[in-house]
Amino acid sequence: MAVIEHKSYARVGLLGNPSDVYYGKTLSFSLGNFWASVRLEPSKDLLIVPHPTHDLVRFNSITHLVNRLQSEGYYGGVRLLMAICKIFHNFCKDNNITLCEGNFTISYDTNIPRQTGLSGSSAIVTAALNCLIDFYEVRHLIKVEVRPNLVLNAEKELGIVAGLQDRVAQTYGGLVYMDFSKKHMDEFGHGIYTPMDIALLPPLYLIYAENPSDSGKVHSTVRQRWLAGDEFIISTMEEVANIAVEGQKALLAKDYAKLATLMNQNFDLRRHMFDDDALGAVNIEMVEVARRIGAASKFTGSGGAVVVFCPDGPSQVKQLVDACQEAGFVCEPIKVMPSFLNDIDLQTLASK
């Protein structure tokens, strides 16, 4: 059997995030600027290959080791690959999907800036899931709608608090409107995912800085408060979800002034719920650099990268680029990836 390789791109939570963690709604798209790739090759034993830099275990000195742990934490992608193997295997077992015999060697690479709210974690997991699906030839047996759950479950397995929006954008590709209403989630186990035309999006920009933050940690306090029935968190999350509803209407009507307002509101609501310490000073500054020149901005995910819209056009983009350069942030045009679904994937959507 030949080598199997899959790429999975970063994603931008354009509107409504993080309400996906709370039965909300989001509008997200697949970001072509960055991707993770996973390679699977048949082999005698089952081998998970540590990445030479992301899973570093050899250091120049103890200071190097400590610095590395302080800036990047303890974990790389190995645990993600292990977790998706487990979740995939158990899902197939529970659903009477027989897996053929045979082992493989699985390795990964990624150029998604680490832990910057661009969903580098689930890009690795999504690409790995696609490899497993093709290795075991079960693509027709695992519906597209349930695949994001498998990706999320792999991360939940590791104690990472997260929602489905990243995994949906990375599974579907393109621009997707997602409705995670409790009733539908309880009944079907997944949300309602509506692909939209990527041509509806205006030119957008990405700002990011190398300042890794752990999305699981960022989320955990708000999640605890939500679980404890905190009225403020519950009602604010509903407002955030409603931003995606309004955003879908605005995009369909090409009302870009409204889009700008909604992006700003989205960030302001996040800031009310998560304290500034959790959001991070650098992350807040990235949002504010854009706002100071009159652009609309918000986090793409839980922090580290910001999506920007310049409603006034090219002159404002120039101001944005200059302001980012001065502040030491990377700023680049966003490339949106179209849908990734092939004929077999689409058939699983059609067969109810």
Ligand X SMILES: O=C(O)[C@H]1O[C@H](OP(=O)(O)O)[C@H](O)[C@@H](O)[C@@H]1O
Please state the closest distance from residue 75 (CB atom) to Mg ion, in A: 12
d(CA 342, CA 321): 37
CB under 6 A: which stretch of 16-24, 30-38, 100-108, 192-200 binds ligand X? 16-24
The tokens describing 199, both together, are 């041509």
Alpha helix segments (H runs only) across the chain: 62-72, 78-94, 120-135, 147-157, 165-172, 182-188, 215-227, 231-252, 256-273, 276-279, 281-292, 314-327, 343-350
Select which of 20, 94, 109, 166 is catalytic.
166
The listed partner (ligand X, ligand ADP, Mg ion, none) that binds 18, CB under 5 to 8 Å by sort, is ligand X
CB under 6 A: which stretch of 19-27, 108-116, 196-204, 319-327 binds ligand ADP? 108-116
Which one among 76, 77, 113, 117 touches ligand X, defined by CB under 6 A? 117
Which one among 16, 18, 120, 247 touches ligand ADP, defined by CB under 6 A? 120
Count interface residues toward Mg ion (CB under 5 A): 2
Residue nearest to Mg ion (CB): 121
Q: Are 340 and 171 in contact (CB under 8 A)?
A: yes
Cis check: omega of the bond before 202, within 30 degrees of 0: no
CB under 6 A: which stretch of 110-118, 180-188, 203-211, 263-271 binds ligand ADP? 110-118
Which one among 5, 210, 214, 255 touches ligand ADP, defined by CB under 6 A? 214
25-43/47-48 β-pairing? unpaired
d(CA 154, CA 160): 9
d(CA 11, CA 171): 10
Q: Which is nearer to ligand X, 139 or 217 (CB)?
A: 217
3 state SS of 253? coil
CB under 6 A: which stretch of 134-142, 162-170, 229-237, 326-334 binds ligand X? 162-170
Report if residue 215 touches Mg ion, rule: CB under 5 A: yes
d(CA 21, CA 352): 26
94 given a catalytic annotation: no
Please state the closest distance from residue 123 (CB atom) to ligand ADP, in A: 8
Report if residue 236 touches ligand ADP, rule: CB under 6 A: no
Please state the closest distance from residue 170 (CB atom) to Mg ion, in A: 11
Give the residue from 261, 218, 260, 270 showing the smallest Cα distance to 239. 270
Q: Kindly list the catalytic residues.
A: 166
